[in-house]
Amino acid sequence: MQEKEVSLKNKNMNYSHIIFFLLILACSLAKAEEENKNYRSKILEYLSNNKEFSSSFIQYNDDAFQEGKFFLKKNRLRIEYGSPTQIVFVIKDGNAMYYNLDLKEVEYFNPKNTVAKIFFDFFYDKKFLEGIKFNNENNYFDFAKKIKINDEINNIKIIFEKSPMKLRKIEISDSEGFTSFTIINANYYPVLDDKMFSLANPLLN
């Protein structure tokens, strides 16, 4: 009889430990989900307040660095590379142009099949952040997401500075390697001329 009582006490203690663990887990999950909602709301507000955006950036890939500038306005994107080769990309209304100033070359292409899709989805697709889980660091927070481009999975990571909140870095990994864009000198209220986003062939002007 005494052995049974001891056994029942041990079972009750085990059940208590399990219940306590489940309560802690439930609280942790609830807190994490609340943080996710908070970060999602902050990013959506941040993006809605910045319809136009420009910045310099440093691109890193394959042990090489390139400097350039972003210009974003109402679903239009212009990317300028200043070194080592002067190149301009302009994307507008589902069409895109590549212009190599050094070689005097112009090509047109579908931007949906390039990493430009990542920038447009992030800035303009409100569903982009659905199901996202955020990682919280001391002065930064970030999230990771998989995006399919040309039947290939691209793993992206977007990093924000907390205070004041600002986009800091975009990292992209695919089968060809790793590329990162570090955002510097961001301007969230630029005045951008529509002519910057013209798809007219500059060699014919």
Q: Where are the alpha helices (DSSP H) in 49-138?
A: 116-124
User: What is the overall mean pLDDT for the chain?
Assistant: 80
Query: In this structure, what token pair is assigned to residue 22?
Result: 């489940």
Element of type H or E holding 106: strand 105-109
Ranking 31-45, 57-71, 99-113, 190-204 by mean pLDDT, the lowest is 31-45
Interatomic CA distance for residues 134 and 86, integer angstroms: 36
Question: In this structure, what token pair is assigned to residue 85?
Answer: 């080769």
DSSP 165: T
Among residues of the chain, what percentage have pLDDT more than 90? 31
Q: Return phi, psi of residue 178, to 5°.
A: -125, 135
Among candidate residues 127, 124, 126, 98, the one with its CA nearest the CA of residue 113 = 98
Domains defined along the chain, listed by start: 46-198 (2.50.20.10)
Check residues 11 and 73 and name the one with the higher pLDDT.
Answer: 73
* Per-residue model confidence (pLDDT) at position 148: 85
Six-digit token pair at 11?
């079972």
This prediction has a pTM of: 0.76
Nearest to 89 by CA among 126, 13, 80: 80
Per-residue pLDDT band at 18 (split at 50, 70, 90): low
Taking alpha carbons only, the member of 137, 135, 177, 138 closest to residue 157 is 135
Is pLDDT at 184 greater than 70 in this prediction? yes
From the list 200, 199, 192, 201, the residue with the least C-alpha distance to 74 is 192
144-174 residue pLDDT tens: 999 888 888 889 999 999 888 888 999 999 8
Could you report the per-residue pLDDT of 69-107, keeping only the tens digit for each? Answer: 989 888 789 999 987 789 999 998 888 999 999 999 999
- CA nearest neighbour of 145 among 162, 158, 135, 136: 158
- The pLDDT of residue 33: 55
Strands of the sheet containing 76-83, edge to edge, are 105-109, 95-100, 87-92, 76-83, 64-73, 52-61, 177-187, 166-174, 152-161, 140-149, 134-136
3-class secondary structure, 74: coil
Residue type at position 4: K
